[in-house]
Structure 1
Amino acid sequence: MPAKENDRSSLVQVQFLTVAEVASMMRVSKMTVYRLVHSGELPAVRVGKSFRVPEKAVHAYLQNAYFDAG
């Protein structure tokens, strides 16, 4: 499969979440999500004036954010 077709098929499979959905999942405010996006800690795509965050990026962020208190 040519590279362009492969890139397109992988993009079709990406599930995007709104900032409000991410905030709800993480149980934080929307402002906290915006801070994570603007700091580069959470990747996002700008669609018009709003952001969409790849669902896999949220899961990856949460996996890396676990704190071991032991």
Structure 2
Amino acid sequence: MQRIADDRVVLTIEEAAQRLGIGRTTMYALVMSGEIRSVTIGRLRRVPVRCLTEYVNSLLADDTAATAA
């Protein structure tokens, strides 16, 4: 298993999936649907680390709202 450097600002789709502990196909689906934001650098698709944090925070907020209701 490859170790992801913690100081990087952007990750590949595969690295972002690994960071979240999900499959590559699921990660691609989340990026293509816009649920997880990504950027294009040249011809490469990259996921900013902060966008992973935003996604997880949105899941937590949704869960908190559903639990409160």
- Do these two structures clear the TM 0.5 threshold for a shared fold by scoring above it? yes
- The residue type paired with residue 19 of structure 1 is I
Identity, % of aligned pairs? Answer: 30
CA distance in 2, matches of 1:27, 1:15: 18
CA distance in 2, matches of 1:34, 1:51: 10
CA distance in 2, matches of 1:20, 1:51: 11
Q: How many residues align?
A: 56
**What root-mean-square deviation, in Å, do the aligned CA atoms of Structure 1 and Structure 2 show?**
1.9
Structural mapping, 1:27-66, within 5 Å? 27-47=21-41, 48=43, 50-66=44-60
CA distance in 2, matches of 1:33, 1:51: 12
The counterpart of 1:18, out of the listed 3, 6, 12, is 12
Gaps of 5+ in 2: 1-7
- Residue 24 of structure 1 deviates from its aligned partner by 0.7
CA distance in 1, matches of 2:47, 2:16: 8
Q: Which has the larger radius of gyration?
A: 1
Gaps of 5+ in 1: 1-13
